[in-house]
């Protein structure tokens, strides 16, 4: 159960190696996925899908063999009702036999199956089964691919996801499993209401006095309310940050947009039965079509008093059309209205506040636009408190991205510190040792993290035990009807031996300690069990300490049970515990001693996927990704061959006699290509449907090989004069240089000043120049006789290569420092200018034309600019 912490550590070490990694935030909703990418150089915004839409429908489906995502998948539900999977968020970690799954079945046309872990899988029409984690992983992979194409194919592996605060540990496990199956890593989970609060704080400042707001989020599968208290940290300083403390949460699972859609669909089903004397419930296609239509009608009814539902050929070729009024719809939902606002009051009670403490109620979530939901909230909190000042769809994912950026410490963001809470009562339970032989063992339950406990806290428990025992972490009551209360069981082993060793060392009444953790991401776990004992310090200094220190300091530790757990007499906690201790550092005259104990975690009720299961699922997903990629590559190779054949046909048949292709090719070459082209077309029509990617590529290259020399010829017609010009320019400027250097040499000999260039240097350069000139004259002469439709004798690339030695030698001389001469006026700074000038032209490489410098070299400025 330490896996999140472990994941975080892995991530942290990862960050420190590659400094510029991206972070993907995903808000995986019941109806829509929103994502945002934090990446250096990428503007911070919501990630767009391939159609430039800002949200992606939470669906995956198959149209025969083709896997589809987003609305492409959602929209085929009417035709492929058991191959399209939506609203899977309900099923994260859901036990197959739970009411949640029955509810899901009442919405969806999917066929469900039970996994070996007792959770849910979907069965496709071809009989294959896919676990909910796998189906969600496919969608996360799809989002990852979008993100990677936004950063030009760079890998994106780290994600932060939003989860509703009401998600149980099993649901959170399922989210992380899906992320791993998708080949990514979870940096953290953040509650969706809290991430909206972060987004809200981004553009606002607060005072030292906390300001309380309710984030009211009406989603597709649930409604939740989060009370966030905003205040300023360090308000005096220039970099004042904001602290957000979550004070309370309330929620209603299963009351959300989907339930409204379901009620509306019921109206349509009943209406159809009345009009056509047929029950469409047995027709999955019809149910799926009506599901989509109900959602559309609901949206229209949000702005209109009535709407017309219309589905062509709903079932048995009957076109269905019917008017639905808002009044009719609202009356069908009357029993729900009390539940719309209930999360607000639950959150207030949880936070020990009243509405008077609340500055505003911020509406988010798609269903907050539904009039009856808004009316219920307005009636509950008063119109004046209602605020619609965040983006109802995007605030959560953007807040999550900012939170992730803050955690990763890689991006500079506003300092916003979030302290979240756990929404459920979590208790430790274990079997107490019998007091004597006659008494029965009893189960002790102790509340360790009551609902509202701070996320990210640790508590050290002390147990007076002599033998190995098990500690269970459980929800005090089932968090969701039909979901297990058990979270995990920790076996603590090796106690008798460790206690004996401590006693042998002189410890009196050693005890067992273990730490329970409620992590920032909402996971509870048991960590670091130790045997602990205090050993008398008999040394003189110990005795002195004992005299002045006193030993009655109070304990910060949680006592699980007065009867069986000893309250520790020392304020010191095992070294592994990071719980802050408020007691003063007055050490008693005792030495503490701890021996680590063995810990084994059992995940009995709804176990997360095992490593092997995840690996198998990952491999399965990779396999279909590969298959699809191969199919895609084959399509591309086929299209590319086809396109190429047509292009060559145009060159051969439609090319005018003065087209470059015709001018640079010979009759017999064109004939050979014509023949190969015809073979290519014939091959394509015969084998196009079953040939492999490799075959298509080979067919294309067989023809390409014939076209290549022709292309090369007309490229050379362009390139050769340019290369020749460059060579000539070097030739010309070298010659100028030599003339000038010779004159200077003579002049310096006359005036007895050491020359800048020696005779040898000048002669050696002249030799290189002459050789080059000889070679050029010869080759250029040969090239003259080559026809346009023949392969060139002298390639432009060779020409460019050949001038290099001359160029290098000249550059070297130009860089040479002028000899030290007695100070005279006028000639001072030319050498430094010369050296910096040549450095610049050198970086331009061999193709740089020395033309400008050579023209100025004739002036009195000499080669200063070269
Ligand atoms: C809520 O308001 C009451 C009454 O004004 C006040 O006494 C209380 O301290 C407030 N609670 C918080 C948490 O601000
Ligand atoms: C107890 O002491 C023995 C002897 O020193 C040692 O071998 C053993 O590992 C110790 N056991 C524990 C749990 O510390
Ligand atoms: C050679 O290069 C110079 C300078 O870039 C240019 O002015 C001239 O027209 C070129 N001559 C040819 C034949 O390309
Ligand atoms: C020749 O002498 C002049 C004047 O001192 C100087 O500017 C120029 O750079 C010299 N040229 C060569 C090639 O040495
Ligand atoms: C090199 O330059 C000299 C003098 O400018 C010229 O006579 C000669 O033809 C040139 N050689 C070539 C191959 O361009």
Decide whether any atom of ligand 1 lies within 6 Å of the 451 Cβ: no
pLDDT in tens, 265-300: 999 999 999 999 999 999 999 999 999 999 999 999
Give the angle subtended at the CA of 710 by the CAs of 707 and 712, to the nearest 5°: 110
Residue by residue, DSSP assigns 394-452 as THHHHHHHHHHHHHHT-S----EEEE-B--S-EEEEEEEPPSSTTSPPEEEEEEEE-TT
Give the distance (Å) from ligand 1 centre to CA of residue 210. Answer: 10
Give the distance (Å) from ligand 2 centre to CA of residue 573. Answer: 22
Tokens (6 digits) for 180: 């791993």
Pocket test for ligand 2, best of 493, 497, 598 (most atoms within 8 A of CB): 497
- Structural domain of 393: 3-229+241-257+336-419
745-768 per-residue burial string, b: 16 or more CB within 10 A, e: under 16:
beebeeeeeebbbeeebbeebbeb
Number of the ligand 5 atom closest to the C-alpha atom of 769: 1
* Full strand arrangement of the beta sheet holding 66-69: 66-69, 59-63, 84-86
pLDDT in tens, 89-116: 999 999 999 999 999 999 999 999 999 9
The residues with which 248 forms a beta bridge, in sequence order, are 227
Domain-terminating residue out of 373, 399, 419 = 419
CATH code, domain carrying 803: 1.20.1270.10
Decide whether any atom of ligand 4 lies within 6 Å of the 142 Cβ: no
21: confidence class by pLDDT, cuts 50, 70, 90: confident
Give domain status of residue 522, yes or no: yes
Q: Return d(Cα 554, Cα 552) in angstroms, integer.
A: 6
pLDDT at position 769? 95
State whether 638 and 579 are in the same domain. Answer: no
CA-closest residue to ligand 3 atom 4: 851
Residue 663 has pLDDT above 80, yes or no: yes
Give the distance (Å) from ligand 4 centre to CA of residue 744. Answer: 6
Closest ligand to Cα 848: 3
Give domain status of residue 525, yes or no: yes
State whether 99 and 118 are in the same domain. Answer: yes
pLDDT at position 604? 72
Mean pLDDT of 333-355: 97
Q: Return d(Cα 694, Cα 638) in angstroms, integer.
A: 10
CA-closest residue to ligand 2 atom 1: 501
* Residue 331: burial class (beta carbons within 10 Å; 0-12, 13-18, 19+): exposed
Number of the ligand 5 atom closest to the C-alpha atom of 772: 13
Decide whether any atom of ligand 1 lies within 6 Å of the 357 Cβ: yes
Give domain status of residue 302, yes or no: no
pLDDT at position 540? 56
For the ranges 526-530, 698-702, 735-739, 844-848, the lowest mean pLDDT is seen at: 844-848
Number of the ligand 1 atom closest to the C-alpha atom of 354: 1
Check residue 789 and give left, alpha or beta (phi > 0: left; psi -120 to 50: alpha).
Answer: alpha
pLDDT at position 18? 47
Predicted model pTM: 0.77
State whether 652 and 585 are in the same domain. Answer: no
State whether 784 and 701 are in the same domain. Answer: yes
Give the distance (Å) from ligand 1 centre to CA of residue 357. Answer: 6
Number of the ligand 1 atom closest to the C-alpha atom of 352: 13
Give domain status of residue 184, yes or no: yes
State whether 602 and 635 are in the same domain. Answer: no
Decide whether any atom of ligand 1 lies within 6 Å of the 355 Cβ: no
CA-closest residue to ligand 1 atom 14: 357
pLDDT in tens, 624-660: 999 999 999 999 999 999 999 999 999 998 767 788 8
pLDDT at position 495? 96
State whether 502 and 476 are in the same domain. Answer: yes
Residue 119 has pLDDT above 80, yes or no: yes
- Does residue 246 contact residue 390 with C-beta atoms inside 8 Å? no
Give the distance (Å) from ligand 4 centre to CA of residue 120. Answer: 88
Number of the ligand 2 atom closest to the C-alpha atom of 498: 13
Pocket test for ligand 1, best of 350, 353, 358, 452 (most atoms within 8 A of CB): 353
Give the distance (Å) from ligand 3 centre to CA of residue 854. Answer: 13
Give the distance (Å) from ligand 4 centre to CA of residue 745. Answer: 9
pLDDT at position 545? 52
pLDDT at position 518? 97
Closest ligand to Cα 348: 1
Give the distance (Å) from ligand 5 centre to CA of residue 747. Answer: 26
Give the distance (Å) from ligand 2 centre to CA of residue 703. Answer: 78
In sequence order, what E strands does 580-715 have? 590-596, 598-602
Give the distance (Å) from ligand 4 centre to CA of residue 855. Answer: 15
pLDDT in tens, 747-795: 988 888 888 899 999 999 999 999 999 999 999 999 989 999 999 999 9
State whether 723 and 855 are in the same domain. Answer: yes
CA-closest residue to ligand 5 atom 11: 773
State whether 676 and 573 are in the same domain. Answer: no
Closest ligand to Cα 499: 2
pLDDT at position 414? 87
Closest ligand to Cα 803: 5
Decide whether any atom of ligand 1 lies within 6 Å of the 353 Cβ: yes
- Does residue 151 contact residue 71 with C-beta atoms inside 8 Å? no
Decide whether any atom of ligand 1 lies within 6 Å of the 437 Cβ: no
Closest ligand to Cα 227: 1
Chain mean pLDDT for the chain? 86
Give domain status of residue 541, yes or no: no
CA-closest residue to ligand 3 atom 10: 725
Q: Which is more confident, 94 or 845? A: 94
How many other β-carbons are positioned within 10 Å of the β-carbon of residue 724?
Answer: 19
State whether 157 and 133 are in the same domain. Answer: yes
Tokens (6 digits) for 849: 């034309």
CA-closest residue to ligand 3 atom 12: 725
pLDDT in tens, 211-220: 999 999 999 9
Decide whether any atom of ligand 1 lies within 6 Å of the 356 Cβ: yes
Closest ligand to Cα 769: 5
CA-closest residue to ligand 1 atom 13: 353
Give domain status of residue 816, yes or no: yes
Give domain status of residue 548, yes or no: no
Closest ligand to Cα 737: 4
Residue 416 has pLDDT above 50, yes or no: yes
pLDDT at position 863? 35
Closest ligand to Cα 772: 5
Q: Which is more confident, 553 or 152? A: 152
Domain-terminating residue out of 582, 609, 636 = 609
pLDDT at position 829? 40
pLDDT at position 544? 54
Closest ligand to Cα 851: 3
Q: Return d(Cα 743, Cα 751) in angstroms, integer.
A: 12
For the ranges 51-55, 668-672, 839-843, the lowest mean pLDDT is seen at: 839-843
Number of the ligand 2 atom closest to the C-alpha atom of 597: 13
pLDDT in tens, 294-329: 999 999 999 999 999 999 999 999 999 999 999 999
Mean pLDDT of 347-361: 97
CA-closest residue to ligand 5 atom 6: 732
CATH code, domain carrying 366: 3.30.420.40
Q: Return d(Cα 678, Cα 694) in angstroms, integer.
A: 20
Domain-terminating residue out of 609, 630, 647 = 609
Residue 355 has pLDDT above 80, yes or no: yes
Give domain status of residue 251, yes or no: yes
User: What residues flank ligand 5, with Cβ below 6 Å?
Assistant: 728, 731-732, 735, 773, 776-777
For the ranges 116-125, 565-574, 856-865, the lowest mean pLDDT is seen at: 565-574
pLDDT in tens, 168-198: 999 999 999 999 999 999 999 999 999 999 9
Number of the ligand 5 atom closest to the C-alpha atom of 724: 14
User: What residues flank ligand 2, with Cβ below 6 Å?
Assistant: 494, 497-498, 501, 595
Residue by residue, DSSP assigns 97-126 as TSHHHHHHHHH---EEEE-TTS-EEEE-TT
Give the distance (Å) from ligand 1 centre to CA of residue 386. Answer: 20
Residue 570 has pLDDT above 90, yes or no: no
Pocket test for ligand 2, best of 501, 502, 510 (most atoms within 8 A of CB): 501
pLDDT in tens, 714-730: 899 999 999 999 999 99
Number of the ligand 3 atom closest to the C-alpha atom of 722: 14
Mean pLDDT of 516-542: 86
- Does residue 69 contact residue 75 with C-beta atoms inside 8 Å? no
Decide whether any atom of ligand 4 lies within 6 Å of the 830 Cβ: yes
State whether 576 and 724 are in the same domain. Answer: no
Percent of the chain with pLDDT over 70: 86
State whether 693 and 769 are in the same domain. Answer: yes
State whether 789 and 814 are in the same domain. Answer: yes
User: What residues flank ligand 3, with Cβ below 6 Å?
Assistant: 721, 725, 849, 851
pLDDT at position 528? 95
Residue 580 has pLDDT above 60, yes or no: no
- What domain count does the chain have? 3
pLDDT in tens, 468-506: 999 999 999 999 999 999 999 999 999 999 999 999 988
Tokens (6 digits) for 486: 């058990």
- Does residue 734 contact residue 769 with C-beta atoms inside 8 Å? yes
Tokens (6 digits) for 817: 């420092």
Decide whether any atom of ligand 4 lies within 6 Å of the 863 Cβ: yes
Decide whether any atom of ligand 4 lies within 6 Å of the 757 Cβ: yes
Give the distance (Å) from ligand 3 centre to CA of residue 794. Answer: 19
Number of the ligand 2 atom closest to the C-alpha atom of 501: 1
Q: In angstroms, what CA-CA distances link 783 with 385, 660, 792, 799?
A: 87, 19, 7, 12
Mean pLDDT of 207-213: 96
CA-closest residue to ligand 2 atom 13: 498
Give the distance (Å) from ligand 4 centre to CA of residue 162. Answer: 73
CA-closest residue to ligand 2 atom 2: 501
């Amino acid at each position: 159960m330490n896996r999140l912490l472990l994941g975080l550590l892995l991530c942290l070490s990862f960050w420190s190696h590659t400094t510029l990694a991206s972070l993907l935030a995903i808000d995986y909703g019941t109806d829509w996925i929103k994502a945002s990418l934090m990446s250096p150089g990428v503007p911070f915004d919501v990630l767009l899908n391939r159609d430039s839409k800002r949200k992606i429908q939470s669906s995956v489906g198959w149209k025969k063999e083709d896997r589809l995502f987003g609305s492409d998948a959602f929209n085929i539900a009417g035709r492929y009702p058991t191959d399209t999977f939506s609203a899977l968020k309900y099923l994260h970690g859901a036990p197959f036999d739970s009411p949640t799954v029955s509810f899901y079945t009442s919405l969806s046309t999917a066929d469900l199956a039970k996994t070996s872990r007792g959770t849910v899988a979907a069965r496709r029409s071809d009989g294959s089964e896919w676990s909910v984690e796998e189906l969600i992983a496919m969608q996360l992979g799809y989002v990852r691919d979008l993100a990677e194409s936004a950063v030009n194919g760079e890998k994106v592996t780290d994600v932060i996801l939003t989860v509703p605060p009401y998600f149980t540990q099993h649901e959170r496990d399922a989210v992380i499993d899906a992320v791993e199956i998708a080949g990514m890593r979870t940096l953290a989970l953040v509650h969706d209401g809290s991430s909206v609060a972060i987004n809200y704080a981004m553009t606002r400042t607060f005072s030292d006095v906390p300001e309380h707001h309710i984030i009211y989020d009406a989603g597709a599968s649930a409604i939740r309310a989060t009370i966030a208290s905003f205040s300023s940290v360090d308000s005096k300083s220039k970099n004042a940050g904001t602290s957000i403390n979550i004070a309370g949460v309330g929620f209603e699972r299963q009351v959300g947009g989907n339930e409204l859609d379901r009620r509306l669909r019921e109206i349509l089903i009943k209406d159809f039965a009345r009009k056509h004397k047929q029950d469409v419930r047995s027709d999955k296609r019809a149910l799926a079509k009506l599901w989509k239509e109900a959602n559309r009608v609901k949206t229209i009814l949000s702005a209109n008093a009535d709407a017309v539902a219309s589905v062509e050929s709903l079932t048995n070729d009957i076109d269905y059309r019917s008017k639905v009024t808002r009044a009719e719809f609202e009356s069908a939902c009357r029993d729900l209205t009390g539940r719309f606002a209930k999360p607000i009051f639950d959150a207030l009670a949880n936070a020990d506040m009243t509405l008077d403490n609340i500055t505003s109620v911020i509406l988010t979530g798609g269903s907050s636009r539904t009039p009856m939901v808004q009316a219920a909230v307005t009636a509950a909190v008063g119109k004046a408190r209602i605020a619609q000042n965040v983006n109802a769809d995007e605030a959560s994912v953007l807040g999550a991205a900012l939170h992730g950026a803050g955690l990763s410490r890689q991006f500079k963001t506003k300092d916003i510190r979030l302290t979240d809470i756990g929404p459920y009562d979590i208790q430790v339970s274990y079997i107490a040792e019998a007091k004597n032989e006659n008494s029965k063992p009893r189960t002790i339950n102790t509340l360790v993290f009551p609902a509202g406990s701070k996320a990210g806290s640790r508590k050290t428990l002390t147990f007076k035990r002599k033998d190995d025992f098990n500690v269970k972490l459980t929800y005090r009551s089932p968090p969701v009807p039909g979901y297990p209360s058990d979270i995990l069981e920790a076996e603590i082993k090796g106690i008798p031996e460790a206690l004996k060793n401590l006693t042998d060392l002189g410890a009196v009444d050693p005890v067992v300690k273990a730490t329970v953790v409620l992590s920032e991401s909402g996971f509870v776990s048991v960590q670091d069990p130790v045997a602990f004992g205090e050993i008398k310090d008999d040394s003189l200094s110990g005795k002195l300490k004992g005299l002045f220190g006193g030993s009655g300091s109070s304990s910060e530790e949680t006592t699980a049970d007065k009867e069986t757990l000893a309250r520790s007499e020392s304020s010191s906690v095992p070294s592994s515990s990071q719980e802050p201790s408020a007691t003063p550092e007055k050490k008693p005259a005792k030495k503490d001693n701890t021996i680590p104990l063995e810990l084994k975690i059992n995940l009995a009720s709804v176990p997360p996927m095992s490593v092997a299961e995840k690996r198998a699922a990952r491999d399965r997903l990779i396999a279909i990704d590969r298959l699809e990629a191969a199919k895609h590559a084959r399509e591309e190779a086929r299209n590319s061959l086809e396109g190429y054949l047509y292009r060559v046909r145009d060159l051969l048949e439609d090319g005018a006699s003065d087209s470059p292709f015709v001018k640079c090719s010979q009759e017999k070459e064109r004939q050979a290509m014509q023949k190969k082209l015809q073979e290519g077309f014939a091959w394509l029509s015969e084998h196009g449907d079953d040939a492999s990617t490799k075959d298509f590529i080979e067919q294309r290259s067989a023809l390409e090989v014939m076209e290549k020399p022709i292309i090369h010829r007309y490229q050379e017609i362009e390139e050769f004069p340019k290369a020749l010009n460059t060579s000539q320019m070097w030739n010309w400027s070298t010659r100028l240089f030599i003339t000038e250097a010779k004159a200077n040499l003579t002049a310096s000999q006359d005036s007895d000043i050491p020359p800048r260039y020696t005779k040898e240097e000048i002669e050696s350069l002249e030799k290189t120049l002459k050789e080059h000139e000889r070679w050029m004259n010869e080759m250029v002469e040969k090239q003259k006789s080559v026809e346009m439709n023949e392969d060139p004798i002298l390639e432009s690339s060779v020409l460019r290569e050949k001038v290099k030695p001359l160029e290098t030698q000249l550059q070297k001389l130009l860089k040479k420092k002028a000899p030290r001469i007695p100070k005279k006026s006028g000639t001072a700074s030319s050498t430094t200018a010369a050296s910096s000038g040549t450095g610049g032209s050198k970086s331009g490489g061999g193709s740089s034309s020395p033309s400008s410098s050579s023209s100025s070299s004739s002036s009195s400025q000499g080669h200063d600019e070269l």
